[in-house]
Amino acid sequence: MTTSPNSHISIGDDTGISGTSISAMGSIFIGSRVLIGEGCVVTDNDHHPVDISPPSERRYTKLSAANSRSIRIEDDVFIGARCIVLKGVTIGAGSVIGAGSVLTSSVPAGVIAAGNPCQVLRSLRDPVSGDGESGEAPLGDPEKASLTFVIAAYNASKSIANAIASANRIPSSRVIVVDDGSEDGTADAARLVGAEVIVQANAGAAAARKTGLSHVKSEYVVFLDSDDEVTDGLNSAIDLLRLDPETVVVGGRIELMNASGPTGKFGPRPSAEYSTRDLLATPASPWPPCASVWRMSALLASEKSEIDPLNPRYAEDYELLLRVSMVGRVRAIPLVTGRYRAFGGKSSSAASLALETADNIRQYYSLAMGDDALPMGAREILRRSEWRVFRARVVEFGTVRAFTLGLKSPRASFRLVVIGSEKLARRAIGGRFK
């Protein structure tokens, strides 16, 4: 066992570890009733580089907690012989890891996984009765769950298991995955880890979330992107909703992720509370979907607002937050509630369209409330919408600037639900007031 002065290793009751090398520079948690086979390696850090120079000429790189990421092995896990568990990995409760596996990313609860790199092979849950179309039983009982995760997914077979695993760590939850016309086996990957899956023709993330929402029966709902994750901080957000019936949505901070996992870098700390006018001052939600919990009754009530709702294809979370803020309190906690993946996602054109649409939405609601909200300058839009553009590899400043100057006709990225709003909306999507 290798440790540093500030490292922490926690091992639960009735756990068996034999002939295993554990290296901790940060934190390693091993739960109760865990069995780890002979010859395994569990390390939360990077190893010394190999140097075959003579001893007098060798240069060593000091290990430190700065290069480590926590490992968590939950209760009732079995790990076969000669496995390697690398930094940042979580193994969900009740999972079985085949001998010789190399774990470079997290494994959901209740599955069999194996290989190099380790991948989920099947769920350990009982098959559903009836026609068996889903192949595996849903992880949450719709009648008993107090929280539902709606995951809109498109070609997300490589990331969907981690998103579902993070959701399953929240008690009394149900997971609904809406496969939006994927071509890479996303639906099968979600079913393997026990999620409830709905398949539809490709219609975009906003339409997929709406489909999932129509199946929600719980008191609270989270909209989770297929390559993002939630954290235990979400439990505190739910507690706040339970304590204050007038609060309709609670958000938190985000931790950024890259291809290797969490980066230890965080998004801006949100304000404690947001009024509708506070939200109109910024053309974006204060947090991405993965970082907030919504009260389902408030979402339904917001559809009956005096201001006709929009159905935007982009920035739909911002429009939804504006509507819900007219029903009750929008609050935030200082804890990290979600992990937001900042690579390989939306294209730069999609990010630009999201920013354009958000400013159009801002102007629409400002007009409806009797405020004179002038279009924002390009730099101001980008500055105030920081997290939204993390995901794009390149943010095209020129595109946003052209939009704000009226040099380019922005796409009408939303359709109107009520014809009577058309004149008002035309003023908002014209790029500037006439």
Q: Alpha helix (H) ranges present in 214-331?
A: 234-243, 276-280, 296-302, 316-325
Query: In a 3-state reduction of DSSP, which class is residue 107?
Result: strand
Would you give the DSSP letter of residue 388? Answer: G
- 3-state secondary structure (DSSP) of residue 141: coil
Distance CA 375, CA 30 (A): 53
* Residue 402, H or E segment: helix 397-404
Cα separation, 185 vs 183, in Å, equals 6
State the helix-helix crossing angle for 316-325 and 205-213, rounded to 10 degrees: 50
Q: How far apart are CA 317 and CA 150, in angstroms?
A: 13
Q: Per residue in 27-66, is it b (16+ CB within 10 Å) or e — as a string?
A: bbebbeebebbebbebbbbeeeeeeeeeeeeeeeeebebe
CA distances from 330 to 67, 208, 321, 422 (A): 37, 24, 8, 28
Could you give the 3-state DSSP secondary structure of residue 276?
Answer: helix
CA dist., res. 99 & res. 83, Å (int): 6
Which residue, chain included where needed, has tokens 């926590």?
Answer: 70
- β-pairing, 2-3 vs 247-258, is unpaired
Alpha helix segments (H runs only) across 63-170: 160-168
Residues in the chain: 434
CA distance 308 to 297: 18
Spatial CB neighbours of 158, under 8 Å, sequence gap ≥ 6: none
Give the count of beta carbons closer than 10 Å to the beta carbon of residue 349. Answer: 12
Q: Find the catalytic residue in 8, 47, 48, 215.
A: 48
Whether 48 is catalytic is yes
Q: What is the DSSP letter of 366?
A: H
* Strand order across the beta sheet in which 90-91 lies: 8-11, 27-30, 71-73, 90-91
Which residues are annotated as catalytic?
Answer: 48
